Structure 1
Amino acid sequence: MRVIAIILVMALFASLEGCRSKQKPAAPEPPPKETKEKKETPVEPPPMVVETKKEEPAKNVKRNILQRTGTGKKLQDIHRALQMYANDNGGKLPPPYTKDASGKPLLSWRVRLLPYFEQDNLYRMFNQNEPWDSPTNKALLKYFPKIYQSSDDYEVKSVFKTTFLAPVANETVFPPEGGVSLAGVGDGASNTIFMVDADNEVATEWTRPVDLIVTKSFPHRGLGLSYAGGFMALFGDGSAQVIPAGQNSPANLWGLFTRAGGEAVRR
């Protein structure tokens, strides 16, 4: 009996060992994931806001560099028309305006140049014996030639005004009496301003016999606000450039306006 009991115990022990061997070993626990510590970015205090008065842009700055290029091209086209007019009229430039028998101004030089811009039909529609604001002539204002459309300001353009003005004074190439010969530009064409792109404030209807009156004491009137750096001018040699108003003394600018003053000038 004792032998049988020992055998049974041994058999039971062997059976338990077999069951243990059939069980799958427990999977090893995965190593803990490495977690990057999130570095906290130090929060800087917001900068102090100091209220400053914003500088207003130059009043009436109406063109950027690309627009200046278009303005210069138009001024150069006007110069070619002036040259053709002079060739057809004994070498003389047009007067700033036409006049009736009593000396009353009628129409601008801008109307006089229309045939040289292939605007013959429009030119013939004007009554040359009537002022610009007569019923017949005023009705033609709306046919605003693109060559004279100089400003992008709606308040200027919508009422058919231009800022391409002739400098009018006895000493310029556009004296009130007119009839200046190109040969009489003693200061040299490259040193003499023939035309300007003036400020919107002095714009005028394109047919109206009004331009920019310049004086020796105040030649900057109506100039210098068209661009941040100055105003654009057309010279007698056909070149167009921006004149830095702030850097130009009245004496130098006046010298550029005169046709035969003999002044030493700087462009």
Structure 2
Amino acid sequence: MSIQFACPHCGKQTVVADQYAGQTGPCASCGAQVTVPYSGTGTIGPPTGGSKGTSPLLIILAVVVVAMLACGGLLAAIVVPAVFSARSAAQRVNSMNHLKQIGLALHNYYDTHNTFPPAVVTDKDGKPLYSGRVLLLPYIERGDLYDRFDKAKAWDSAENLAVSQTMIDTFLDPARTTGGPFRSDYVFVTGKNTILEGNSTVRFADITDGTSNTVIAIETSQGPASWAAPGEWDVDSGTLPPSNHERVRLILYADGSVRPMDHAAAQQIIRAAATRNGGEVIPF
């Protein structure tokens, strides 16, 4: 079979065998480079470096890249909040565990002394010396610090300052974003008729409202600078201090349980729940 074609440069008609289809060579008339077409009659120019139009492959690649970027943005919008939410939930669980450790320490102290510790230890003149958290040290595996602490001196005395400036993980909320490493993010609830009222001692029999209905400690982002400092929350002082958690307040009850409570609800009922013998009905 023969192929007839015309030179695009001089118009010379040429007939060649089909075995030369696709090959390039000089025109017999003008000498210009021409390429033999594969079939039929036609005109074909010299080979070029490629089409001047946009490659379909490039268009496809561009569409894929744009789609990936769009999906990436959507994925980020979904994943990032989920990551923050998961982290907040994990911090809340860890914080609740710290409060449970404090609750267990309070119960172990009670088993040893047949009374709850005072929220604040005072001297004979009623001057605050240090927090009752110092008395819990043997029950949170920090008996070494308890033994070094001079119980007859203030928390910030020369004798006690080094111990008071020791970080204790149990007293730190994992969700905390401010404050030094020695502070306590968990404070006792004090005030009239509370379990840890002043320097008094209270027994289970005195909690007539029920241990599961009576608050004994809370978490806060405004705890004392040192866990040993007597910086508790007095229910008669007014509003609750700020929390380390966005949506809930973590509360330790006298039975050792820890429950999260909506901030608005906590503000409304915690004063009633703090008294040990008020007879209030708490809408939990």
Give the TM-score normalised by structure 1: 0.71
Cα deviations across residues 20-50 of structure 1 (Å, max 9, x unaligned)?
xx963783159xxxxx9x9xxxxxxxxxxxx
1:127–1:136 Cα contact (<8 Å) kept = yes
Question: Counterparts of 2:267 and 2:172 in 1: how far apart (Å)?
Answer: 29
Distance in 2 between residues matched to 1:166 and 1:204, nearest whole Å: 15
CA distance change for structure 1 residues 69 and 24 in 2, over 3 Å: closer, same or farther? same
Q: 1:28 aligns with which of 16, 28, 40?
A: 40
Matches within 5 A, 1:215-230: 215=236, 218=238, 220-223=239-242, 225-230=243-248
Q: Report the Cα offset of residue 164 of structure 1.
A: 0.4
Q: Identify which of 226, 237, 240 aligns with 1:205.
A: 226
Q: 2-side partners of 1:87 and 1:67: how far apart?
A: 30
The alpha carbon displacement at 1:194 in A equals 1.2
Q: Which residue of 2 aligns with 1:187?
A: 209
Larger radius of gyration: 1
- Matched with 1:257 is 274
Asked if 2 retains the 8 angstrom alpha-carbon contact of 1:162 and 1:203, the reply is: yes
The answer on whether the counterparts of 1:229 and 1:246 sit within 8 Å (CA) in structure 2 is no
Looking at both structures, which has the greater relative contact order when contacts are Cα pairs under 8 Å and sequence separation is at least 6?
1
Structure 1 residue 84: Cα displacement: 0.9
Structure 1 residue 152: deviation in Å?
4.7
What does residue 266 of structure 1 align with? 283
Structure with a larger share of its residues in strand:
2
User: Equivalent residues in 2 for 1:30-109 (5 A)?
Assistant: 64-90=88-114, 92-109=115-132
The equivalent residue for 1:214 is 235
For residues 179-228 of structure 1, what are the alpha-carbon distances to aligned partners after superposition, in whole Å with 9 as ceiling and x for unaligned? 01122111111111111001x2344410012211112x83x3214x4222
Unaligned runs of 5+ residues in structure 1 are: 1-21, 31-35, 39-62
Give unmatched runs, 5+ long, in structure 2.
1-14, 19-36, 43-55, 60-86
- Residue pair 1:171, 1:259 contacting (<8 A) in 2 also: yes
The alignment covers a number of residue pairs equal to 211
Change (3 A) 1:261 1:29: farther
Query: Structure 1 residues 116, 127: closer, same or farther in 2, change over 3 A?
Result: same
Matches within 5 A, 1:153-192: 153=176, 155-158=178-181, 160-192=182-214
Q: CA RMSD in A?
A: 2.6
1:151 touches 1:162 (CA, 8 Å); kept in 2?
no
Summarize the Cα distance change of 1:70–1:188 in structure 2 as closer, same or farther, 3 Å threshold. Answer: same
8 Å Cα contact 1:151/1:163 also seen in 2: no
Percent sequence identity over aligned pairs: 25
- What's the counterpart of residue 4 of structure 1? none
CA drift at 1:104: 1.5
Q: What is the one-letter code of the residue matched to 1:83? A: H
> Which deviates more from structure 2 when the two are superposed, residues 236-245 or residues 131-140?
236-245
Contact 2:215–2:274 (8 Å) recurs in 1:
yes
Following superposition of structure 1 onto structure 2, how do residues 116-127 of structure 1 map, counting pairs within 5 Å?
116-127=139-150
Contact 2:183-2:223 within 8 A present in 1 as well:
no
Q: In the aligned structure 2, how far is the partner of 1:238 from the partner of 1:249?
A: 21
Q: Specify the code of the residue in structure 2 equivalent to 1:131.
A: A
